Structure 1
């Protein structure tokens, strides 16, 4: 699938793949480990590579890049068929260096906030086999790469019916409206917590529905042609309650320090803008702004918890909602309730 037998670049790519799995290292270290005079394994001999220069690896990677589309098409024919589910995800990695044209500053999933990042999207078959990958600039938002994947599925792979599966940060309302629905693709995603709370507050999702069941499929006029799979999970509620309590307490401790700084007799913190800036930094750090009532003046700072907001949020802690365009035939395990 990578290339014809006997092709030097193909053999080098195969060696890189094997080495990456067994003993990951830089191209220079890998070249030395596979060359006969400095070999630390039998991979180079087994593949008949002979003497290897690290520049050959870079040339082989350029060759592989030119053949990426053909390889992905071959993988799609083998692992994806019309009507199958395509698992889609977006991730990022940091870079050691400064000269990559795609490198940009962004939130680091690797926990290296000082490093430049690049973003990549991955398309997998239902069994987890990678089928396609595309790299984007490091400051690209999670939903943006989805447009490229939709185009690839419909145009390059020529699939009539594909179900995209992704979380709510990738398959957003905008992507549904602008990319997925116009392309005629089916999809499975999830509702965010505020949307679930709005359904409960508006009476369109009644919690008594789960007195005798933990899962149900419902249809609502707000989501025409769609189905919502509502699940109840007490363990999820316990975890969310624990996390919210910890964040509330951490926020209150830091707000109390600001309040003490405002009220101290010597060199007090004063000025509405200055105090608000420090309070805002605390609330943003813990994402707790919606949970507190604030009263900030030039010489004062008071805060209290919004009990009604916290209680309303806690009421839906044990709920999560899957949103899908798939019909009832795909949802046999759920009781169906129409409203």
Structure 2
């Protein structure tokens, strides 16, 4: 254990120190049985040059006589290494003390690099580093991306975070930056967005025949955003203006392009510009767009057809009911296996979803119980109040049936009062 301490506290790496390590390996077991010490002396040559002598020695008894012998010449060791050996010898009878450091030794934590390095390598493989370029603005933009991955914070938070990570070594950001510099960098990003997206498209997008598109919204705390408007707030945040954000992705979910719209923009109104991007910017000739029920409707279908594009979307309940009335599809065809029906230029692919069927069944049962509970309450009220009107009670139940949209299979009537 003494030897281990010595080897960790004093860095013995020079070739001429190897003999010392070997000697200590042999002598460490005798540390408690003999007196080992360091002898220091200085001597001056005729030329006036002063040399120091540092010897590791031990005294021991042999046949009743005290003898001394030299273990190693430490004259070539540094002062730090010699102090480490002295510290080990001093505490050889109290090995627990060897785990402590002297007051002269201080520990200072350096800048973090591990997480930053991993993200940087991932960004290189994805082409993000190349797309942003080697300019200072490009490197600042890269740090803004990384800081959002490392810590979900503001621009000011990104500045503070930069003081704890080795961004100078990894990103070559030698000069510091302020919060205002990062905001100016966002303006640079906005001006260069198209060029950056085009580079990423050429690097990463291999399947150019199937694109996914959807929108979301984000509310704003401030009031000075040029695109902020009142609109349908998906966050459920009342009293806040918002922006609408559209994301175009490939079949694997890799982002292709993003676009910000005013907060009162209808989802359908955002779709046309995505068609133009695919056709004009990215030069795609045969694309199938995938969108939800609220994204692709008649107007969007017409725009897609003009460009020779196709689409995949889901049917609404009303559309399914219309198709069943027209006998294009039959309910009996809804099985656990996929079924396909072609009607003119339309191809319908459908199946029974057992999970969704269970959800619908539970929802219907819950709504039925709700109506039964209300009927019971109204019956009790009518029994306790002889002058109460049956028509009023019936109206209350009927209104709730309509509100729950179950009037197709539930009705109420009054009898036997």
Q: TM-score over 0.5 for the alignment?
A: yes
Q: Tell me which residue corresponds to 1:225.
A: 345
1:1-339 counterparts in 2 under 5 A?
A: 1-5=130-134, 7-34=135-162, 39-44=163-168, 46-49=170-173, 50-81=175-206, 83-177=208-302, 179-210=303-334, 214-220=337-343, 224-247=344-367, 288=403, 290-292=405-407, 306-307=408-409
Distance 1:210 1:152, change over 3 A: closer
Deviation string, structure 1 residues 287-335 (Cα, Å, up to 9, x no partner): 946434xxxxxxxxxxxxx3179xxxxxxxxxxxxxxxxxxxxxxxxxx
Instruction: Give the Cα separation in 2 of the matches to 1:247 and 1:215.
Output: 30
Gaps of 5+ in 1: 293-305, 310-339
Distance 1:62 1:225, change over 3 A: same
The Cα of 1:256 is off from its aligned counterpart by: 9.9
Instruction: Give the Cα separation in 2 of the matches to 1:53 and 1:12.
Output: 11
Decide whether the 8 Å contact of 1:84 with 1:162 is kept in 2.
Answer: yes
Deviation string, structure 1 residues 78-106 (Cα, Å, up to 9, x no partner): 33357521111111111112221212222
Gaps of 5+ in 2: 1-129, 412-417
Decide whether the 8 Å contact of 1:95 with 1:117 is kept in 2.
Answer: yes
Decide whether the 8 Å contact of 1:214 with 1:233 is kept in 2.
Answer: no
Secondary structure of 1:65's match? helix
Calculate the aligned-residue CA RMSD, in Å: 3.5
Distance 1:287 1:229, change over 3 A: farther
Decide whether the 8 Å contact of 2:338 with 2:350 is kept in 1.
Answer: yes
The Cα of 1:249 is off from its aligned counterpart by: 5.4
Instruction: Give the Cα separation in 1 of the matches to 2:223 and 2:379.
Output: 42
Deviation string, structure 1 residues 145-189 (Cα, Å, up to 9, x no partner): 110100111111111111111111101122112x11112111111
Deviation string, structure 1 residues 16-58 (Cα, Å, up to 9, x no partner): 1110101121111211221xxxx23333553232321111101
Decide whether the 8 Å contact of 1:123 with 1:130 is kept in 2.
Answer: yes
Higher relative contact order (CA 8 A, sep 6+): 1
Instruction: Give the Cα separation in 2 of the matches to 1:59 and 1:101.
Output: 17
Distance 1:88 1:255, change over 3 A: farther
Provide TM-score, normalisation by structure 1: 0.70
Instruction: Give the Cα separation in 1 of the matches to 2:378 and 2:263.
Output: 35
